[in-house]
Each structure stands twice: as structure tokens, then as C-alpha cells.
Amino acid sequence: MIPTLPPCEYPADLTNVALGKPTSQSSTKKKKDGGPEKAVDGNKDSDLKKGNSCTFTDREYQPRWEVDLEQSFDIYEVVITNRQDCCVQRIKNAEIRVADSENFEENPVCGMMILGKMAKSETITIRCGSETPRRGRYVSIQLIDRGRNLNLCEVEDMAR
């Protein structure tokens, strides 16, 4: 018999602490109006053109997006609304980091890398740990070992 672990139990009162907070990204594609702030505007429309609410970086090696929560929170999960009108796979091989360093590379990874079928989903939920949240002020999303554009239609940092 294989031992199983009990399911994670998160507090019921989690809130999105990223809404309207300062953001940055490694680049912004000219003429696409895909600035980093679009991922924290509260609009979860996953159609880049119709919704006018998705980020859009240049095609580059390991593009990155980041939000400054302006203070540290206990982050339990990060919920990403992925682009669906095309290019759903652009989020594949993304890694999320959460901690207090302004240099995102110094911050530990939260949860698992976005791989396989998960990369095609409209809503992607990455749990930072089972019952033990990741504490941090900065949350970043970066494509690892990829030369692509990064599109994010909404990023919710669920905390308490």
C-alpha cells in the first residue's frame, strides 16, 4: 500500500493582494499595448485583442513579469489567467518566485513549474506549499530557457 498525504487545507479568507499594485516586466512589445499593469487590473478576459487586458513582452530569452505587493504577505497560491485567443503554450516552462528581494533571481521558487496540459489552461493555480505559505513582497513569473513572448491576462496573489 502506498502512503498518501492529507490534502492541503488553506484558510478560507484568502484575498488577492496584487490588485492594482506596481508592476514591471523585462520588455513591452511595441504597438501591442501590453504593459505589465494589465495583469493586476482585475480584468480576467483571456482574449488579448478583445479584452485589452493582457501583458505582452517582446520575444526574448527568459522574459519576466513582476509585482511589488508593497509589503510582505503570506502567499498561499498564485492564480494566473492565461491567454486563450491564441498562443496558450507561451506560459509553458514558467516559474514563479516569491520573497522579499528586489532581485527576483534571489527569491525561492513557489510551487511547481508550469508544464504540459497545465500550460494550456485558462486558469492556472500554483500552490506555494501545503498549509505553509511562502512569505514575500515580490512575486515574479519568468519563462525558463525559452525565447518567446510572455502573455499574462491576470495574476492573483492569494494571501492572508
- Domain contains 136: yes
Report pLDDT for 33.
82
pTM for this structure?
Answer: 0.92
- Domain contains 4: no
Domain that holds residue 82: 15-159
Q: For 18-22, which contacts have Cβ atoms below 8 Å and span 24 or more sequence positions? A: 18/67, 18/69, 18/139, 18/155, 18/156, 18/157, 19/156, 21/67, 21/68, 21/69, 21/70, 22/67, 22/68, 22/70
- Domain contains 1: no
Report pLDDT for 83.
94
- Domain contains 123: yes
| pLDDT profile of the chain (160 residues), mean per 10 | 66 93 95 91 93 93 97 97 92 96 95 93 90 93 92 96
Q: Count the domains in the chain.
A: 1
- Amino acid symbol at 86: C
SS3 31: coil
Q: Which residues pair with 114 in a beta bridge?
A: 94
Report pLDDT for 160.
86
Report pLDDT for 5.
58
- Domain contains 27: yes
- Domain contains 7: no
- CATH code for the domain in which residue 54 is found: 2.60.120.260
**Measured between alpha carbons, how far is 20 from 3 in angstroms, rounded to an integer?**
43
Q: Give me the phi and psi of 144, to 5 degrees please.
A: -100, 130
